[in-house]
Structure 1
C-alpha cells in the first residue's frame, strides 16, 4: 500500500517544481523596485534549471572544449539517474509536468482500448535518441543547435516570449477599463487586482517580441500533440529525456512484476506516461520509464513494485539499431556545414545583427547559445529579440538587438547575468564602460556596433529642418553624436542655419539610443550596424592607425 502513495508524492513534487520554474521565469525581468532604485540586478537564481541540465552541460563541453561556470551542478541530476532511473522526467521537469497534465485530459483519440494501445511502447520513441545523437555530433563540430530542443529552452522561449506577454496584455486590457469605471465597486476591484498582479505576475512594461506568435503556436502544437498521444514530446523528441534514458540503463532501481497475482487488467497501461510496457508478460523498458509511479498506484493487486537490484527480464537500452544510429550521426555531421553554407563565421551574418553586450565572437557565440530566451526576457527595454534569418539557419532564435524597438541601457548587464552557457560573458557595468563617470578596466568600452546616417532622410541634412533628437539621446560621455552648424538654403530660397548631426566612431558604442529616438517613423535616418563591434576583429572600421 505504500507504493500507492507514491503517485501523490510525485504530484506534489511536480507542482512544486513547476511553480518554482514559473516563479523564476517571472523574476527573470527587471521588477518595478529595480526600475525606481536604479539597482539593476537579479535577485533570484533564474538560471537554476539550466545549471542543473545535463544536456546543456554536455553539449557545452563538446562545443567549447570547456565547461562554463556552474554547469558542473548538472551532476546533481546525472548521478542520481544512475541509481534511480529517469526520476527527473517524472518528478522534476516542468515540461514533463505540463505534458503529464495535458496528457491526462480527455481526448477522443485516447479512450478505452485506444488509450491502452496509445500508452504501449512505440517504435517512434527512438526518434529522440536520433535527435540526441545528431545534436551532440553537431555540438562536437561547434554548433549548439541542440539547445533549440532543450526542454527548459523551449519553455522559457515559449512562455517567456509568447505566453506571458500575451497574458500581460490581456490582463491589462481587462483591468485598465475597470480602474476607470464610474462604478466604485468595479474600480476598487480593478485597482486592487492590478496592484496585486503588478507586484507578482505582471511585468512593469508591456513587452512584445518578434516571432512570438510563431513560438506560441509551436508550443500549442506540442501541447495539442500530447493530448492526442500521451507525453508526445517526452516520448518522441526530448533530447534531455533521451540522454537520461541512456544513463538510466545502469540504474539499480527497477520494476518488479508479480506474474502470479497479475490478472492482465491493463490498468497500469491506462495510466502509463512513458510507454515502457509495465504490464505483465512484456519486458519492462527501463530507458523509457519516467518513474511516474502511476502503474504501481493503479494496480489493484499490488502486482507491480519498484525494487533495487531486481533480476527480471527488461530492455535496458533503447532499441535503436544500426540504421537509426548511423542516421543520427549523419544528420549531426551534415547539419553544421549545410547550415553554414554561404555564410561566413568571421563576422555577423547581416550588418544589422547586433549581439548583446558581453557576447563572444560569432563562432563561439553559436557554439554556446542555447536559444533559451533568458536574455530577451530580462532586457528592461525590450530591445533583444529572437532572430529568424539574420544570423543564418544556425543562428535561429538567437538574440539580436533591435534598436528601433529598444536600446541597450548603459548601466544594465542583466543579459550577461542570466546567460547560462557563456554565450554572453558575464560583465559588470564597469566592464561595459558606458556609465558616465565610471571607467572600465579596458582601454575601450564594450562596443555593439557603430551608428551611421542616411543623409537623404535626416531632417537637418535633407529637409533643412532643425532636429537634434539623436544627439540629445546619446548616452555616452563625451557624446558620440555631435552637431555642426551649417548654412543651407530652403525651398523658398532663404538661407538658414541648421545643426547637422555627425557620428564620432571612436566614441560610438552602438547602443541604439539614437536609432530608437529618431522621429522618422517609417525608417530612421540614423541606424546602427555591427561594424566596429568589439567582439569581432574582422568587423572593424579600417582607419589609419599607428
Structure 2
C-alpha cells in the first residue's frame, strides 16, 4: 500500500513538473508553479529557508522521499528502470554494491566550489532539477508543440479556435546538445543499473543522503525472518541492500518501498528505529505515519488548483524573420534579475523561464561562463512591459518576482542607433517605426538635416528614459541588422 501511494504521488508530481516546461501558454504555472519552487537546489540558491528546512526535516523523519517523489530526474530514472524491468528474465536484475563515497563527495565538493565561485555552467550541469528541465524543454517540448500545431491545423479547417499554432525553433544548439547527451547518459545508466546517477553523481542526493542516515523511519530487515533469498537486493535499484549482512545503506536508500513489496516472507518493514513494531492482542500494529504523510501529499496535489490565469497570446504582430543578432558588449538579462552577477550566482539553467516566455525573447546563453543561463535577444519578439512570466516561475531567485509597474521602471539596457543601417538614410524613405512603438517614449524623430525642417527624420534615443525592452530593435525594418539595437547593463537601475 505504501508503495502504491508513493508511486501515485510521484507520477502526479512528475507529470505536472513536465507540463510546466511544455505549456507555452503559461497557464499551468498558476496552478502548479509551486512544484518548481519546492525543488531542493533552487530553494538553496534562492535562500528559501522554509523549503530547505522542510526537506531536511522530512528527510530526517522519513528518509529520502524527495528523491523518490518530488525530484523529476529521480522519477524519470525510475520510469526508465521500470521499462527495463519489463523485459523477460530482467525482473530482478540489480545487486548490492558498496557506496562510491570518494566520487559522491568529490562531485559534491566540486559543486559547492562552483556555487561559491559563481561558475554557473558547472552548477547547471550537475543540478538534477535543471538537468531534467533542459531535457523537457529541448527534447520533449518540440514534440509537444508539433502535436499542438497538428491540432491547430485540424481545428482551423473545422472553423475552431480551440488551438493556435506556435513556432518551433532551436533556441540554443549547445544547450540542445548538452540536453541530448544528458538524456542518453541517464537512460543508459537507469536502463542498466537503476539509480546509479542519483547515488554517485547527484549533489542533492549526496546531501540528503547524509541526513537520511539518521532518519526516524526506515526500511528494516528482520534477520529472524530473512531466508537470504536475495530478492530484495536484486530488486533494489539503489543497490543499497546487503542481504547477506541484513543491512541497508540508508544514505543511498530513496524509500521507494520496492523491497517491502518484493519480500515474500515479510522480513522487511518500514518502521521507526526508536520504537519497533509492537504486539497488540496477538496482532502486529504498525506505525502508519509514513502512510499518513504520503496520503496528505496526495491530497495537497489534488487541492492545489486555484483560479486559472487567463491565457494571454501575442498581440497579433507578424514574426519578423531573417534578423541577425547584433554584437552586444554586455548581455541582456531579464528585469528582476537585478544584473549579471545575481543571474550568474543563482541561475541553474533549468530553462523554465525560457520555456514560459510568450514573446520568445529568452534563450540559453552559448558563452562558456554563463552557459545555459537565460539571456535576452529581440529577433523574434520584444520584452513586453506587461509580461512578468519569467519572474513568476523562477525557482532559484535568479529572477526575482516583479510587477508590471516595477518592470516599466527598470532599465536593463539602452537603445543604440546605428546610422549606416537606418532606412531613411539608406533608402531615402520615411520610417519612424522605432519611435512609434517605444512603450516609454524614449525615442524622438528629428530632422536628419538640422538646416532643413522638411528633411527625412531620424531617431534620437533618450537613454535616461529607455528601459531596454527591445521593441525598437525587434520592429525595425532594416535587414539583416537592425538600425537600432539594445546594449545590456551589468547592473539594472530604476528610472
| Alignment CA distance shift 1:147-1:29 (3 Å) | farther
Contact 2:410/2:467, CA 8 A, preserved across alignment: yes
Alignment of 1:320-331 (within 5 A): none
SS at match of 1:408: coil
Greater relative contact order (Cα < 8 A, sep 6+): 2
Alignment of 1:253-292 (within 5 A): 253-281=217-245, 283-292=247-256
Contact 1:379/1:415, CA 8 A, preserved across alignment: yes
Task: Give CA deviations for 1:36-76 in whole Å, capped at 9, x if unaligned.
Answer: xxxxxx63351x2343234334455xxxxxx3xx4422322
CA distance in 1, matches of 2:22, 2:165: 8
Alignment of 1:232-243 (within 5 A): 232-243=196-207
1:356 corresponding residue in structure 2: 334
1:104 corresponding residue in structure 2: 82
Contact 1:248/1:287, CA 8 A, preserved across alignment: yes
| Alignment CA distance shift 1:180-1:204 (3 Å) | closer
1:426 Cα deviation from its structure 2 partner? 2.5
Contact 1:6/1:293, CA 8 A, preserved across alignment: yes
2:103 corresponding residue in structure 1: 127
Task: Give CA deviations for 1:296-318 in whole Å, capped at 9, x if unaligned.
Answer: 11111222222322799xxxxxx
CA distance in 2, matches of 1:485, 1:31: 47
1:399 corresponding residue in structure 2: 374
CA distance in 2, matches of 1:466, 1:90: 62
Alignment of 1:101-500 (within 5 A): 101-106=79-84, 116=93, 118-121=94-97, 123-124=99-100, 127-143=103-119, 145-172=122-149, 174-179=150-155, 187=158, 195=162, 198=163, 209-211=171-173, 213-221=176-184, 222-281=186-245, 283-309=247-273, 351-389=329-367, 392-393=368-369, 395-433=370-408, 445-477=409-441, 479-486=442-449, 497-500=455-458
Q: Please state if 1:89 is matched with 2:47.
A: no
CA distance in 1, matches of 2:113, 2:190: 28
Q: Which consecutive residues of structure 2, in runs of 5 or more, have no partner in the other structure?
A: 277-326
Q: Which consecutive residues of structure 1, in runs of 5 or more, have no partner in the other structure?
A: 33-41, 61-66, 182-186, 313-348, 434-444, 489-495, 541-546
CA distance in 2, matches of 1:375, 1:418: 6
Instruction: With the length of structure 1 as denominator, give the TM-score of the two structures.
Output: 0.71
1:96 Cα deviation from its structure 2 partner? 1.5
Contact 2:59/2:215, CA 8 A, preserved across alignment: yes
Task: Give CA deviations for 1:422-443 in whole Å, capped at 9, x if unaligned.
Answer: 322332222223xxxxxxxxxx
2:475 corresponding residue in structure 1: 517
| Alignment CA distance shift 1:104-1:502 (3 Å) | same
2:50 corresponding residue in structure 1: 72
Contact 1:95/1:152, CA 8 A, preserved across alignment: yes
Contact 2:332/2:487, CA 8 A, preserved across alignment: yes
1:24 Cα deviation from its structure 2 partner? 4.4
Contact 1:52/1:75, CA 8 A, preserved across alignment: no
Contact 1:128/1:236, CA 8 A, preserved across alignment: yes
Aligned length in residues = 440
Task: Compute the RMSD of aligned alpha carbons.
Answer: 3.5
Of 23, 31, 34, the match for 1:44 = 31
CA distance in 1, matches of 2:4, 2:267: 19
